[in-house]
A = this chain, B = another copy of it.
Amino acid sequence: MKKTYSEENYLKAIYHLSKMESKVSPKAIADALENNPASVIDMLKKLQDKLLITYDKFNGAFLTSSGELAALDIIRKHRLWEVFLVEKLNYGWDEVHDIAEQLEHIHDDQLAKKLDDYLGNPAVDPHGDPIPSSNGKMPVYATTLLSDISVGQSCKVGSVRDTSAPFLKYLKQLGLGLGATIYVIEKQEFDHSMVITINDGEQKTVSHKMTAHILVIPG
């Protein structure tokens, strides 16, 4: 079933938020889409009617399997177009997001596949984010634990090994989102706690229990 531009943007936002937060609330979606919680509630009802999400106020929004497929399809197109813009049209990696936001909504059965082939089936977009496969799987390229990163090295958050509320809540509080850049300043031999900066922010200390649950892409 074809989706509107707006529906696609909600699905994408919910997908990304669900990787970051324990609960995807109307408020969080409204912040992400820079619109109003009231508007979000309306749309959540519509998406639920279309069986693309489930929503209740206690658990927040979750993508159904068809919703997740749709979200991954949009993300795939977004990232493929970003590769095109940078590799072929010589845009800077920082200029392409807004254009890809528009291009991702172009509908055509063959387009993503043809673009993918033309670009040489890239694994990641210009920001290093993995490109979902055509059958709706998000590859996980991050296989290194943050706890295994050496002092003086930097890395990017790839995915997480725990989706419990307290863990994700703490991640959020630290500003440790998917793709966040971590620089390892110090490691304590005694308890393996780590002093890091996140996106060049202020220094923070995190426990081994945390660093052993965060998968990163070194470099």
Contact = CB atoms under 8 A, between A and B. Distances in A.
Contacts of A102: 105-108
A2 interface: no
Contacts of A111: 89, 99
Contacts of A91: 110, 114
A110 B118 CA distance: 22
Indicate the member of A88, A95, A107, A115 with the most B CB atoms within 10 Å: A88
Interface in A35-89: 88-89
Interface residues of A, number: 18
B89 A114 contact: yes
A114 B114 CA distance: 20
14 contacts: A88-B118, A89-B111, A89-B114, A89-B115, A89-B118, A90-B118, A91-B110, A95-B110, A98-B108, A99-B111, A102-B105, A102-B106, A102-B107, A102-B108
Interface of A: 88-91, 95, 98-99, 102-103, 105-108, 110-111, 114-115, 118
Given A89-B111, A99-B111, A102-B107, 6 more contacts: A89-B115, A90-B118, A98-B108, A102-B105, A103-B103, A103-B106
